[in-house]
């Protein structure tokens, strides 16, 4: 059973947020990826559409989530299910860092509104 120590997690930064990758094929996972997201105060990630289901669980803080144009405020303990093909956005309108835990299947790809395709290294 692979154990990934916190000191072994790989940190990536994109769109003003930090993604701390714990489970990927490089760390021994065969099907799933999991990471901790750190969304600083005032950060607004671009709207994007994903090709895999994501489970987004908010560990601390508060966020404004957009799913297909519908805004929803979430707080610590809330979970958002993001289905493939849904346009998704995250904003932290507070003055504190929000921390999330996200799980998806290997091979996640995101498409930004301008058509840019991103294969995040923490989800591939």
- Domains of the chain by start residue, with CATH: 11-105 (2.60.120.10)
CB 45 within 8 A of CB 91: yes
Tens place of pLDDT per residue across the chain (124 aa): 589 999 999 999 999 999 999 999 989 999 999 999 999 999 999 999 999 999 999 999 999 999 999 999 999 999 999 999 999 999 999 999 999 999 999 999 999 999 999 999 988 8
- Closest to 76 (Cα-Cα) out of 97, 46, 104: 97
CA angle at 58 for the pair 49 and 17, rounded to the nearest 5°: 60
Q: Residues 21, 9: contact at Cβ < 8 Å?
A: yes
């Amino acid at each position: 059973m692979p154990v990934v120590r916190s000191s072994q997690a790989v940190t990536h930064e994109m769109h003003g947020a930090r993604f701390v990758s714990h489970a990927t094929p490089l760390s021994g996972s065969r099907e799933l990826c999991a990471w901790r997201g750190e969304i600083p105060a005032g950060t607004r990630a671009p709207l994007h559409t994903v090709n895999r289901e994501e489970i987004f669980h908010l560990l601390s803080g508060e966020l404004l989530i957009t799913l297909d144009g519908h805004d929803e405020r979430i707080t610590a303990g809330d979970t958002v299910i993001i289905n493939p093909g849904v346009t998704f956005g995250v904003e932290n309108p507070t003055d504190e860092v929000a921390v999330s835990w996200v799980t998806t299947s290997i091979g996640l790809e995101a498409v930004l509104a301008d058509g840019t395709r991103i294969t995040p290294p923490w989800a591939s």
